[in-house]
């Protein structure tokens, strides 16, 4: 389906803003005339030849992220101030052609997973008006769930980029800490905060994340992609899932929904491994119940003490308790977290990701109002540990559970495995793979490293990503290099043919490791493809006595020709 023009997108958004104007989704919305003028400006930039990958997409911004000219309140009116500049993530999205609509409602100071802790009103789920949208990025998720915008920015410390995704039946990408810069973002727990992205599809969320990611000179927390970042999930991944006793927070119906999700992943070709996630669940409790909560006191404790009007009672109680946290308890729990993280990494070693329920319950607004702290704590059972342990995650919808709301699952993996969880999320919802733009180097293979061939596992183990089938330019020949196993060498010649192969992408670190396993006469060199591009590929210094198998039409054809002999 073709993307609408920026003007068409603006007009659609304006109509839906009117339709949902009374649902507490927004704190500030830009004027219709401003939206249409910006849309026209984007179209003019495209017409002038600018490459604007997000042109035709609209987005909202959580109101703890700066937008130039609009107040930032963090859902506390007295905190309101009007920044002169966009937060870095916002600036990058606008520069790429996305149309900024306004500032979305949120749990005050990004403290909460329910979406009811705001003086601007509670936000309900876009698929169940009696149930919460989830917080703290409540408005950002509801704006996407109701189709008002194509994507939105949230923030995530304890699960705020994932829980609202589950409760609104949309996608939430929670990146590795630091990949999306935090300059221009009001802190909640600065050591564990990240900007996150909501969208109806993994593909759109990935587009936005690809543009927004990257180091910022003005954010000391920001990081660039690791040189060892894997390029994607394998075709047959190993997925860890919690043991039965680790799922006690789920009702029988929610547990059945999770079991169906596990079966769905298994039927898609994944191997399932049951693991003990108690170290992660123990770490989750440290975020609010231990010394780590002191970061919230640093972020906004004094402000709430001095500005009690319009303060949410639950947020105020958390801040007040945080203000009394001792320094020794902070150090104690930081050390405890290091040990729990070590155990968690050992638990997940040998797997590609952990699949876990995003939230064990989807409460009603009335249930949250009756018991705001206790319900919020249960909601965060399976999300709180992720940022504490420097992991990335992708949350996707699973199903509606009769009488209990929406249920979703999250794929969780170590830092910089963002492409892995995006791939797994895409497969779960039936989308094509989404590209996050992880830096890598393309390598063409023509023989034993092809998919289904004996050495392909070397590429998979290195986190390589299959891109597509390719052919060489029509002046290459294929020579047989005998060994264990036999391998082909592709060499340039005056008279040759187009030879079939595959293009894979490896991280720089993986490519260096790959090179150490290549024995003479094979080597990596430049290979020209049929489309005129030049990539790295297997070539060789050959003496001339090797068997020429060019006439067979490629390595798989050669292997097929051997089959009758072997039989």
Residues forming the active site: 62, 136, 160
Burial of 417 (0-12, 13-18, 19+ CB in 10 A): buried
Question: Distance between CA 90 and CA 92 in Å, rounded?
Answer: 5
List 242's β-bridge partners, or say none: 275
Question: Distance between CA 479 and CA 349 in Å, rounded?
Answer: 40
Helix runs in 250-326, H state only: 252-267, 278-289, 294-296, 302-306, 313-323
Beta strands 441-445; 465-471: pairing state: unpaired
Strand order in the sheet with 194-199: 26-29, 99-104, 58-62, 151-156, 194-199, 171-174, 391-401, 405-414, 353-357, 238-242, 271-275
Question: Distance between CA 563 and CA 567 in Å, rounded?
Answer: 6
Torsion of CA 48, 54, 57, 58, to 10 degrees: -100
Block residue for tokens 């390595």: 555
CA-nearest of 362, 377, 192, 345 to 280 is: 345
Beta strands 441-445; 534-540: pairing state: parallel
Cα separation values, 308 from 112, 311, 318, Å:
18, 5, 13
Torsion of CA 54, 182, 420, 465, to 10 degrees: 60
């Amino acid at each position: 389906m073709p993307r609408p023009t920026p003007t068409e997108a603006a007009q659609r958004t304006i109509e839906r803003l009117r339709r949902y104007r009374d649902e507490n989704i927004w704190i500030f919305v830009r004027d219709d005339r401003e939206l249409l003028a910006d849309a026209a400006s984007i179209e003019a930039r495209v017409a002038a030849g600018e490459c604007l990958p997000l042109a035709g997409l609209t987005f909202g911004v959580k109101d703890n992220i700066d937008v130039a000219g609009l107040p930032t309140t963090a859902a506390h009116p007295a905190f309101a101030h009007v920044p002169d500049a966009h937060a870095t993530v916002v600036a990058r999205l606008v520069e790429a052609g996305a149309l900024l609509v306004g500032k979305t409602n949120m749990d005050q100071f990004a403290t909460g997973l329910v979406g009811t802790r705001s003086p601007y009103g509670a936000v309900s789920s876009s698929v169940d008006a009696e149930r919460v949208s989830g917080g703290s990025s409540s408005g950002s998720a509801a704006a996407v769930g109701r189709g008002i915008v194509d994507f939105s920015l949230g923030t995530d410390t304890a699960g705020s980029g994932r829980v609202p995704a589950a409760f609104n039946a949309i996608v939430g990408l929670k990146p590795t800490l630091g990949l999306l810069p935090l300059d221009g973002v009001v802190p909640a727990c600065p050591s564990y905060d990240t900007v996150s992205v909501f969208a109806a599809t993994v593909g759109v969320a990935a587009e936005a994340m690809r543009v927004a990611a990257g180091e910022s000179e003005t954010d000391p927390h920001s990081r660039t992609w690791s040189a060892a970042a894997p390029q994607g999930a394998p075709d047959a991944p190993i997925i860890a899932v919690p043991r039965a006793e680790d799922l006690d927070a789920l009702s029988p119906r929610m547990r059945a929904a999770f079991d169906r999700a596990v079966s769905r992943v298994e039927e898609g070709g994944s191997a399932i491994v049951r693991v003990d996630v108690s170290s992660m669940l123990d770490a989750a409790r440290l975020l609010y119940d231990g010394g780590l909560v002191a970061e919230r006191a640093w972020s906004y404790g004094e402000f709430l003490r001095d500005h009690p009007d319009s303060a949410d009672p639950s947020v105020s109680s958390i801040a007040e308790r945080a203000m009394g946290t001792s320094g020794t308890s902070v150090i104690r729990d930081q050390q405890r977290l290091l040990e729990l993280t070590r155990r968690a990494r050992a638990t997940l070693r040998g797997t590609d990701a952990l699949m876990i329920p995003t939230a064990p319950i989807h409460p009603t607004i009335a249930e949250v109002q009756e018991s705001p702290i206790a319900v919020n704590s249960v909601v965060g059972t399976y999300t709180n540990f992720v940022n504490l342990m420097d992991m990335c995650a992708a949350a996707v919808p699973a199903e509606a559970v009769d009488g209990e709301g929406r249920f979703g699952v999250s794929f969780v993996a170590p830092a910089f495995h963002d492409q892995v969880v995006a791939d797994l999320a895409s497969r779960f919802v039936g989308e094509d793979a989404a590209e996050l733009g992880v830096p890598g180097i393309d390598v063409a293979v023509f023989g034993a490293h092809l998919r289904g061939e004996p050495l392909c596992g070397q590429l998979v183990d290195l986190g390589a990503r299959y891109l597509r089938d390719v052919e060489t330019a029509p002046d290459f020949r294929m020579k047989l290099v005998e060994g264990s196993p036999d391998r082909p060498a592709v060499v340039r010649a005056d008279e040759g043919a187009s030879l079939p192969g595959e293009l894979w992408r490896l991280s720089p670190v993986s490519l260096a490791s790959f090179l150490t396993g290549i024995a003479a006469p094979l080597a990596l060199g430049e290979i020209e493809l049929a489309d005129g591009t030049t990539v790295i590929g297997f070539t060789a210094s050959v003496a001339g006595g090797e068997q020429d198998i060019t006439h067979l039409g490629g390595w798989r054809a050669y292997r097929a020709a051997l089959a009758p002999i072997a039989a």
